[in-house]
Amino acid sequence: MRYLNPETQLNQSLIGYVLRCSATKSVKALTTMGIEPEDLRDFLQLNGEDLARLAMVNEPLFKIQFDQALWRRKKSAVLQSGADRELRDALIAAGAPRAMIERWWPMRHEVYAYLRRSWGSCGTGRPRVATESEEDRLWREWSAIAAGRAFETLGARDYLELHRRTDIDLGVCWSTTNRWISDGHPGRSERRVGT
């Protein structure tokens, strides 16, 4: 494979971009790049061989400018998106049921199944009912994690923490806490645990 210098790689990428913009009639993108209509007409008359030779010039055909203000505005959203994906993957790897994952990350069943297989987590079907001792541990740790917040507001990270603290299957954690919430009270009759 022949080495392409950075200018040639940039030219190839941007020539392809110009062709896609032209095909999709993205006039704003072409105008932003500084391509005048007559230049675009000339450009589009070139055949593939001409375009390849054009890309091989040793100077960049296009000026690239980094938009620092846009970068600073978007950076945190991009990083947050990566953190959310890591959290989702950690939950799936820990055996989170589909209903739990879909509460925060709606996805098709095929995507969930693929991610589950990718992380080596097998489907277990309907979660079993928590034992009395498991329910006691769940209630104690769930209350500690909530620390005064409404149980309905607890998020994906809280469920992962509950699983880590109790070492109880995430499906059991999810079904038990959701039962508490739907019954209108967290815990069996809000009884005190461990007394």
Per-residue confidence of the chain (195 residues) as pLDDT tens digits?
A: 566 778 888 888 888 898 898 889 888 888 888 888 888 888 889 898 888 888 888 788 888 888 888 888 888 888 888 889 999 999 999 989 999 999 999 999 999 999 988 888 877 677 788 889 999 999 999 889 988 787 778 899 999 999 999 999 999 999 998 888 888 765 544 444 443
C-alpha 169 chain-centroid distance: 24
Closest CA to 8 of 60, 76, 50: 60
**SS3 assignment, position 18:** helix
Residues near 89 by Cβ (< 8 Å), separated by ≥ 6? 115, 119
**Residue 13 to residue 180: CA distance in whole angstroms:** 55
Give me the numbers of helices (H) and strands (E) for the chain, helices first please.
10, 0
- Contact assessment for residue 171 and residue 91, using Cβ atoms and an 8 Å cutoff: no
Question: pTM score, two decimals?
Answer: 0.58
Nearest to 124 by CA among 166, 57, 169: 169
